[in-house]
Amino acid sequence: MLPQLLPTRRDFAGDDLIFTLNARAQKRAAEGVPVINATIGALYDDAGKLVVLDTVMEQWQQLSSAEVAPYAPIGGDQTYLLHLVQRHWPTLTSIGVGVAAPGGSGALALTLKNFLDRGDTVLTAAPYWGPYSTLAAEVGMTLATVPYPDVQTGIDIGAWEAACRDILEAQGRLLVWLNDPCHNPTGRSFTKADRAALMDVLRDVSSQGPVTFVLDLAYLDYARDPQQVREALDDYAAFAQEGHVLVGACLSLSKAYTLYGARAGALVFPWTTDSALHGALITSCRGTWSNCARSPMSVLNRISKDPALQAKLEAEHAHWRTLLATRATALDAALRAQGLAGCAYDGGFFVTLDGGADPDATCETMQAHDVFVIPLPEGLRVGICAMREADVSKFAAAYKASL
């Protein structure tokens, strides 16, 4: 081992668990084994082919050199940022404060650098996307959690309030990440009552210290009911406009445009124009990745300016959201046919199932049946985005046999 490497940096595996298990599943598939690979968060059709939205790729292939090669501004192209904001809040005419970032993960990293200090804690709901803890650890911070709302009983508001107040008492400020609507990994969304209760708590605790509430928005185009997404985003916008809490959003084209490899996103705060915040974010961009790729910005701008392209893209989204909902419904039925609890699903690429007494052991046993999922402390993450409807019965049988 190189002595130059810091002792604190010598015990990392490299690839995270998701990519490790995906590689294991792919290796088995390459050997001719008919695996069910429900590990990774990318959308596949029923032929096992990666879904790439035609509307997006056609525009990508038409990009001119001038839309690809030049440096983008440090904070990102302003037209791109406005179009990205308006995908989520169409009535807004300004980005407020916002910068481009390499995907949603880059946007999340910016929030840690600018709203917390080393040694501080960020709060989110569990189960959560595994790299949340990696993002925090890489800047010397920790991740605290409260339970994701229960299907039957809803949000545990006492747990939220206690966690918020404890963190504020310990460090004098609070940063909350919330992946809602279409939560990874549960595939569920906060109800209107859940949202209202959480916003009441954040409003109340803001008297104790500055509170920043950041929405991680990645899977909205694949919600079972788009109207529920609209209502949620409108509720969050109304809360932001009150001014008690700084509300922002991490936005991404990875899933929305199936541009996973382009690494395009943004961190936006549409309801503030604070110049110090703008300067801080620009400086973080310059000191971390300098600037982001221009190509995906150009694609978004092309589509956003053309109503016909927007309609074509929405039709594609509607097709794939229907396919995902159909898969979730089929899986729910297959689980119930095995005498197991079903799977609640509001949208996105995943559902979460009970992992038994030891989710890691359950996951390992399922691999013996050539079924690959991601173990979590709270259960098993199942990527319906990559599971064919025809495979749900095999999946349910393997799952039952492994519990």
The residue behind tokens 């589509």 is 303
Q: What percent of the chain lies above the pLDDT cut of 70?
A: 100
Q: Does the pLDDT at position 15 exceed 90?
A: no
- What's the pLDDT score for residue 52? 98
Task: Classify strands 265-269 and 174-178 as parallel, antiparallel or unpaired.
Answer: unpaired
144 bridge partner residues: 123
Give SS3 for 131: helix
- What's the pLDDT score for residue 16? 82
- What is d(CA 136, CA 165) in angstroms, rounded to the nearest whole number? 20
Please compute, for residue 249, the number of CA atoms within 13 A of its CA located in the half-sphere on the CB side: 23
Q: Does the pLDDT at position 275 exceed 80?
A: yes
Q: Does the pLDDT at position 98 exceed 90?
A: yes
Six-digit token pair at 51? 């879904």
Q: For the residues 274-280, what does the mean pLDDT come to?
A: 98
Domains and CATH numbers, the chain: 7-53+310-402 (3.90.1150.10), 70-305 (3.40.640.10)
pLDDT tens, residue by residue, 337-377: 999 999 999 999 999 999 999 999 999 999 999 999 999 99
Give SS3 for 156: coil
* CB burial readout 305-339, b (16+ within 10 A) else e: eeeebeebbeebbeebbebbbebbbbbbebbeeee
Q: Does the pLDDT at position 25 exceed 80?
A: yes
- What's the pLDDT score for residue 12? 87
- What's the pLDDT score for residue 300? 99
Residues in the chain, total: 403
Q: For the residues 96-124, what does the mean pLDDT come to?
A: 98
Q: Does the pLDDT at position 196 exceed 80?
A: yes
Q: How many CB atoms lie within 10 A of CB 210?
A: 13
pLDDT tens, residue by residue, 388-399: 999 999 999 999
Q: For the residues 174-190, what does the mean pLDDT come to?
A: 98
pTM, two decimal places: 0.96
For the chain, the average pLDDT equals 97
pLDDT band at 236 (very low <50, low <70, confident <90, very high): very high
- What is d(CA 281, CA 289) in angstroms, rounded to the nearest whole number? 12
Which pairs from 120-124 meet CB under 8 Å and 24+ separation? Answer: 120/171, 120/173, 120/175, 121/167, 121/170, 121/171, 122/175, 122/176, 122/177, 123/163, 123/164, 123/167, 123/174, 123/175, 123/176, 123/177, 124/176, 124/177, 124/178, 124/179
Q: Does the pLDDT at position 13 exceed 90?
A: no
- What's the pLDDT score for residue 244? 98
Q: Does the pLDDT at position 328 exceed 80?
A: yes
pLDDT band at 1 (very low <50, low <70, confident <90, very high): confident
Q: CA 298 → CA 160, 192, 223, 247, 282, distances in Å?
A: 40, 36, 26, 27, 20
- What is d(CA 196, CA 198) in angstroms, rounded to the nearest whole number? 6
- Compute the radius of gyration of the chain from its Cα atoms: 21
Q: For the residues 172-181, what does the mean pLDDT come to?
A: 99
Q: Does the pLDDT at position 55 exceed 90?
A: yes
Q: For the residues 280-292, what does the mean pLDDT come to?
A: 98
